[in-house]
Amino acid sequence: MDRVLDLTPEKLAARLSQDGSGRASWIRVDGRLAASHPALEEVTSFLEEGVGGARGHEAVFLAVAPTSGALLGAFVHATARGQAQGGLRRAPYPDVQSFLADGLRLSWGMSRKSALAGLWWGGGKGLIAWPGDRSELEGDARRTLYQEYGDFVSSLDGCYVTAEDAGTRPEDVASVFTRTRFVTCIPPELGGVGNPAPATAAGVVRGIEAALEAMGRAGLAGRRIAMQGLGNVGAAMVDLLLARGVSGIAASDISAERCGELSHRWRDAPIEVRLTSAGDPSVLFEPCDVLVPNALGGVLGPATIPRLQTALVCGAANNPLEREERDGAALQARGIVYVPDFVVNRMGIVQVANEQSGRLAADPEVERHLDPNHPQGIPAVVKRILQRAREDGITPVEAANQMAERLAREPHPLFGFRTREILQALHRSGWATGRPAAER
Closest among 206, 209, 199, 260 to 232, alpha carbons compared: 199
**Spatial CB neighbours of 151, under 8 Å, sequence gap ≥ 6:** 179, 180
Closest among 133, 161, 62 to 103, alpha carbons compared: 62
**Spatial CB neighbours of 32, under 8 Å, sequence gap ≥ 6:** 48
Residue 172 CA to residue 88 CA, distance in Å, equals 10
Selecting among 11, 113, 125, 383, the annotated active-site residue is 125
Sheet with 271-275, edge to edge strand ranges: 271-275, 248-253, 224-228, 290-293, 312-313, 337-338
Residue 7 CA to residue 146 CA, distance in Å, equals 24
**Spatial CB neighbours of 261, under 8 Å, sequence gap ≥ 6:** none
* Residues 160, 166, 171, 174, Cα dihedral to 10°: 0
Tell me if residue 125 is catalytic. yes
* Class of residue 373 by CB neighbours under 10 A (exposed 0-12, middle 13-18, buried 19+): exposed
Helices and strands in the chain: count of H runs, count of E runs: 15, 14
Supply the DSSP string of 44-104, one letter for each residue.
HHHHHH-BTTB---SEEEEEE-TTT--EEEEEE---TTSSEE--EEEE--SSHHHHHHHHH
Residue 216 CA to residue 224 CA, distance in Å, equals 16
Residue 92 CA to residue 134 CA, distance in Å, equals 10
Catalytic residue set:
125
